[in-house]
Amino acid sequence: MQPHKARLQFASNVREQRLTKGLSQEDLAELCGLHRTYVGSVERGERNICIDNMERIALALEVRLEDLIKGEKE
């Protein structure tokens, strides 16, 4: 069984941070040099995203990567 808690938490945090900053998925995709549909699938937790792309998204959102990993109750 593959773990999947982390990717769902990441998905949720990316979406929350993107909306907080008033960005569309298209905006975020452009900022991080990824495709819009890729960003959408990341936000749905469908992608086993790799660390370099996680870092790109964190840089685009101007947050620390660890803040995109954190759970609400931790």
Residues at the site binding its own copies, with contacts judged by CB under 8 A: 2-7, 10, 48-52, 54-56, 58-59, 64-66, 69-70, 74
The least distance separating its own copies from the CB of residue 26, rounded to whole angstroms, comes to 21
Nearer to its own copies, 24 or 71 (CB): 71
The least distance separating its own copies from the CB of residue 70, rounded to whole angstroms, comes to 5
Nearer to its own copies, 62 or 66 (CB): 66
Whether 40 contacts 15, CB under 8 Å: no
- Residue 5 CB-density burial (10 A; 0-12 exposed, 13-18 middle, 19+ buried): exposed
Closest by CA to 36, choosing from 51, 21, 23, 50, is 23
Cα separation, 39 vs 47, whole angstroms = 9
The least distance separating its own copies from the CB of residue 12, rounded to whole angstroms, comes to 13
